[in-house]
Structure 1
Amino acid sequence: MRKIRRFHHLIYNISFPVLNVSLVNIDKIVANDYNPNKVAPPELELLKISIVEDGFTQPIVCYYDTEKDEYKIVDGYHRYFVSKNILHLKEIPITIINKPLVNRMASTVRHNRARGTHSIDGMTNLIESLINLGWKDSEIASNLGMDHEEVIRLKQSTFLKDIFMHHKFSKCWKEFEDNYYPKE
């Protein structure tokens, strides 16, 4: 593994701390006091489902404070929170970056802001695919962290689009003008 890290660093001039993951006692991990990211309860529930269903696919990014002998979270606070307070895990995977506080603060924001958002069209297409694969509304809602009404709204936009896909629309404004504003 060490050879792989050196190889990648030499070729790309980018470090790969993700290749150096350790299981650490969860009681030695602490939150930072500057993370502006907040997650609502439905998203925390979805994160719990994700960890239970898919496993721990992303380590918590930490800075090791040698004076306090603790790992300060740079990214992954909500995975840590779910692991500790909901799943009651004793150890979780972490990776360490060794950067000054100002760089860790910037890194926290970059990690959070880089995750992006889900477009309506993208979610609509995803819902349509899941329906075509045989999933029920309840399965979609529970597995994607949505409420039933949200699934229905996305389904409606999908199927309305399909219903009118080949419909030839009239130029109603032209007909309206001809009927109500005849040319003299």
Structure 2
Amino acid sequence: MDTEGKKINYKEEIQYLPISKIEPNRFNPRQRFSEEEEDELIASILEKGILNPLIVFKKKDSDEYVILDGERRFRASNKLNLKELPARILLNEPDKLESLSLMFHIHHVQKDWTQFSISITLIDIINEMGMNPKRLSKEDREQLIRKTSLSNYKINRYLIFQDYPQDVIERFLRSEIEDEQEPGADPDILLEMHRPIRQIKKLMPELLVKYPIAKIIDSCIKKKANNVIVNNKEFRFLNKSLSASDKGMINSERLKEEIITFIKNINTTPESIYLKTAKTYFQVESLSKITDNLTKELNNLNLANITSSERNRITKRLDKLQTLIKSRFEI
């Protein structure tokens, strides 16, 4: 195994360690485990034994070992009253950062950590490296990519989760860990709502006094659970409405009332808010760009190179457009 170019060495042989001398890693963010997963693992151990040895390191000046990989196997074996477990032992005790990084690589590659487990460990690694998660420089990000093997996109994704209040984080973490996920508690909701909530903080902070972020996210979860919102991208309509308000192009008080209705009424969708408040603004913006492009194309058109048939075709279409403009705008 290798982390940031540094090879991790093990003792040559797999050893059987007394289970009483093994302890969980206190830096493991996955503190709770699904009973269903544990029961399945117990059944597998009873049938086939421990197929994969634990990965551990020996604590300095102690005869005890700390788990880097295999806590579920350890817990299941404890329930079965097994006396010893197979383990691969690191030659050297890692420091906290190395321990976090090793666990991160092992569990991220095996895909047995949830999104919030990864997010929590990423924050621990950032803090341990002396970085500010709110102000990561280009060099900081390059170090993190080497340390975690995550792309810059995924680093941003997992950091967004940590922007939310602790009660929101714990709700989603709980849903990921429990046997049955809470209906509608899709972590992607937090990604899509991140920008709208930042806009609400900026444009209408007083709304968050009565309707805190946890309440807004609760409303989003219920809409998703009841199929009022099917695709998480629908939340982007909120951002479009708030962006129009930020530019002073729509009535901010009316938008605030619509957002309150969105929070209180399960059947109100982001798209319905957009249609009532911001659609016309974006239509005008679109028409303005189309008109500018049409004017540019007409000015650049080389009339000497078009046939009379082409000229007539263009003229007819422009005449139809002019008639429509007069009709729609009552000119």
Distance 1:67 1:94, change over 3 A: same
Give CA-to-partner distance per residue, 1:13-71, whole Å, 9 cap, x none: 96673852101111111111110124210001111112122221111111101312210
Cα separation, 2, equivalents of 1:74 and 1:105: 9
Asked if residue 80 in structure 1 is aligned to residue 58 in structure 2, the reply is: no
Q: TM-score with structure 2 length normalisation? A: 0.29
More helix by share: 2
Q: Determine which structure has more spread, i.e. the larger CA radius of gyration.
A: 2
1:105 Cα offset (Å) = 1.4
Match of 2:63 among 56, 59, 69: 69
Q: TM-score with structure 1 length normalisation? A: 0.51
Cα separation, 1, equivalents of 2:9 and 2:95: 18
Give the number of the structure with larger relative contact order, counting CA–CA contacts within 8 Å between residues 6 or more apart. Answer: 1
- Paired residue secondary structure (1:61): strand
Match of 2:25 in 1: 32
Aligned length: 106
Asked if residue 22 in structure 1 is aligned to residue 15 in structure 2, the reply is: yes
Asked if residue 46 in structure 1 is aligned to residue 40 in structure 2, the reply is: yes
Cα separation, 1, equivalents of 2:23 and 2:35: 21
Q: Which runs of 5+ in 1 are unaligned?
A: 1-12, 118-145, 148-184
Match of 1:107 in 2: 102
Match of 2:326 in 1: none
Q: Determine if contact 1:65/1:72 at 8 Å carries over to the other structure.
A: yes
Cα separation, 1, equivalents of 2:29 and 2:104: 8
More strand by share: 1
Give CA-to-partner distance per residue, 1:93-129, whole Å, 9 cap, x none: 1111123331121111222221237xxxxxxxxxxxx
- Code of the residue aligned with 2:60 in structure 1: it is T
- Code of the residue aligned with 1:77 in structure 2: it is E
Cα separation, 2, equivalents of 1:19 and 1:50: 27
- Code of the residue aligned with 2:71 in structure 1: it is Y
Cα separation, 1, equivalents of 2:45 and 2:15: 17
Asked if residue 116 in structure 1 is aligned to residue 111 in structure 2, the reply is: yes
Cα separation, 2, equivalents of 1:50 and 1:16: 29
Match of 1:176 in 2: none
Cα separation, 2, equivalents of 1:104 and 1:15: 11
Distance 1:18 1:114, change over 3 A: farther
Cα separation, 1, equivalents of 2:86 and 2:96: 22
Cα separation, 2, equivalents of 1:25 and 1:114: 28
- Code of the residue aligned with 1:86 in structure 2: it is K
Q: Determine if contact 1:18/1:59 at 8 Å carries over to the other structure.
A: no
Cα separation, 1, equivalents of 2:11 and 2:55: 9
Identity among equivalent pairs (%): 27
